[in-house]
Amino acid sequence: MADPSRPAMSGARVPHRLFENKVHERPRQNSDMGAAVPPEQVWERGIAIGDWTVRVTHGSIANASDIDALSEKLDIPLPEMPFLHNALALEHQPSGFAYCFDAARALQCVDGVRAEQQLAPVECEPVPGAARQARPHRSLSRSGIQVAYAKEWGQSRRAALAAQGGPSAPLTSTKQYDWTYSSTWPGMPGAAAPADVHDRRPPASDSAWRDAFQLGTDPARDRIPVERLGAAQGEPILFYDDIVLYEDELGDNGSSLLHVKVRVMPTSLLVLQRFFLRVDQVVFRLFDTRLFVPFDEPAPRVIRDASRRTARTTCRS
């Protein structure tokens, strides 16, 4: 729970202002094949409400230059559809508190990226302190997940190699990284814009999300009040948006999707970032990060909740 130090309006609905504008445009170009490439536009929309500002940037799928730069920086291939301009940022002007959700930083939390670019993940299950310092090595894919037909394919491949007089040793991957792009990165405190994919400097802190928040001590107060968020409360939604950060179809074996959405009401705002993974006939996985900011308390604060759920499915032949 973060606590920007500034009294807020209590018992009153704070004024708000909606905005939308273009923040970036790359002129029309010709591709290497001579075809016209449409101009790249990035739009920003959001709401300023009381001392808080919510900004959402929208752009198209990343261009080849940005994809190559980030892939080289992280030393892994990127998902099929990275939206590197898309981002959601919160800012509290009096205290300087800021928080940003973006694709580049989320991908820095994927297992197998270059060590100096790695960001520490949220560990949702209690683990000993020493275990947080070194993540366990996983064979083949760093996620430990294989497609449903992996065993049969491996046996068939080894049999074919043996028939040709080749080696029949177990198959190994040439580059070990999490091919499902599973990320438990909960957002970046202290940032109000997406990471620069062309900046090769290591992150200043690999666990900023941990340093900016304190563990809640009061179960009744230090929680997201879901009873305030239902339709029965009758609060209008002043602003809403939902953006995709990255997506991959996993070679037609499922889906990996990271997206973030926000809704702002007269008395509070709620952010949900969700990573969803489906590997057909193998596993489902969810990682959720929620931020709740009440506007009607004497001192403003940010409540963050992170949760992870996994369900394995049964393969049927």
Instruction: Convert 268-291 into a string of H (helix), E (strand) and C (coil).
Output: EEEEEEEEEEEECCCEEEEEEEEE
* Cα distances (Å, whole numbers) of residue 185 to 74, 108, 152, 255: 15, 8, 34, 18
pLDDT at 251: 84
Residue 139 has pLDDT above 80, yes or no: no
Predicted confidence (pLDDT) at residue 296 exceeds the cutoff of 80: yes
Least confident of 15-24, 175-184, 206-215, 266-275: 206-215
- Rounded to the nearest 10°, the torsion over CA 56, 57, 60, 64 is -130
Indicate the burial class of 292 (C-beta count within 10 angstroms; 0-12, 13-18, 19 or more): buried
Q: Has residue 243 got a pLDDT over 70?
A: yes
Instruction: Please compute the mean of the pLDDT values over residues 30-34 and round it to a whole number.
Output: 52
Residue 146 has pLDDT above 80, yes or no: no
In one-letter notation, the amino acid at residue 202 is P
Coil, helix or strand at residue 125? coil
Q: How far is CA 241 from the centre of its chain?
A: 15
Tell me what pLDDT residue 281 has: 82
Q: What is the pLDDT of residue 230?
A: 85
- Give yes or no for residue 143 having a pLDDT over 80: no
Phi and psi for 57 in degrees, rounded to 5?
A: -105, 140
Q: How confident is the model at residue 144 (pLDDT cuts 50, 70, 90)?
A: low
C-alpha distance from residue 213 to each of 189, 195, 298 (Å): 9, 21, 19
Instruction: Specify the pLDDT at position 131.
Output: 44
**Which pair of tokens denotes residue 169?**
């040793």
- Tokens 């994919």 belong to residue: 197
pLDDT of 132:
43
Q: What is the pLDDT of residue 161?
A: 56
Rounded to whole angstroms, what are the CA distances from 37 to 24, 127, 253, 314?
16, 50, 31, 45
* pLDDT above 90: residue 261: yes
Let me know: does 44 contact 80? Beta carbons within 8 Å. no
Q: Check pLDDT > 60 for residue 97.
A: yes
- Torsional sign, CA 226, 232, 238, 239: positive
Average pLDDT over residues 188-204: 90
User: Does 158 score more than 80 pLDDT?
Assistant: no
Q: Is the pTM of the predicted complex or chain greater than 0.85? A: no
**Residue range 224-242: average pLDDT?**
91
Distances (CA, A) of 220 to 210, 214, 288, 308, 312: 22, 16, 21, 22, 33
pLDDT of residue 260 exceeding 90 = yes
Q: Confirm if 106 and 83 have CB atoms less than 8 A apart.
A: no
Is residue 103 over pLDDT 90? yes
Q: What is the mean pLDDT of the chain?
A: 81
pLDDT (mean) for 209-213? 78
Highest mean pLDDT among 75-89, 116-130, 136-150, 210-224: 75-89
- Percent of the chain past pLDDT 90, that is, above it, reads 50
State yes or no: pLDDT of 99 exceeds 90: yes
Please check the confidence at residue 315 and state whether its pLDDT lies above 60: no
Mean pLDDT of 260-265: 97
Whether 141 has a pLDDT exceeding 60, the answer reads no
Q: How far is residue 201's CA from residue 246's CA, in Å, rounded to a whole number?
A: 23
Is 249 or 208 the better-scoring residue by pLDDT? 249
**Predicted pLDDT of residue 156:** 59
